[in-house]
Amino acid sequence: MAPAHNHREQNKKNHVHNRTHASIKCMQINLQHSRTATDNIMNLSEQDRSDILFIQEPYLYNRKIAGISNKNKIYTPTKTKAGPP
């Protein structure tokens, strides 16, 4: 029977090995306040199964971010130096 410390070491190796296969898919884009670009990136990110989108200059409607699916979480700064155009 193998000593207990060898079993623990093998578990550590397996655990590290499994973590190396995890990945996060990210996309970054400046939408230049375009509705068409917003629709395109939403379709592309769904096809690509992206985990995180970094979006600058999102499309705005009535001074609110629009065109982003409700299933996505949006993070924005609490204070900005300049407001929307």
CA distances from 61 to 47, 78, 80 (A): 25, 19, 18
How many other CB atoms are there within 10 angstroms of residue 46's CB atom? 11
Q: What is the pLDDT of residue 32?
A: 97
pLDDT score at 71? 87
**Maximal CA-CA distance, the chain:** 72
CA distance 42 to 7: 46
pLDDT at 14: 53
> Model's pTM, two decimal places?
0.63
Please list the pLDDT of the chain residue by residue as tens digits (85 residues).
555 556 566 555 555 555 566 789 999 999 999 999 999 999 999 999 999 999 999 999 999 999 998 888 999 887 766 666 5
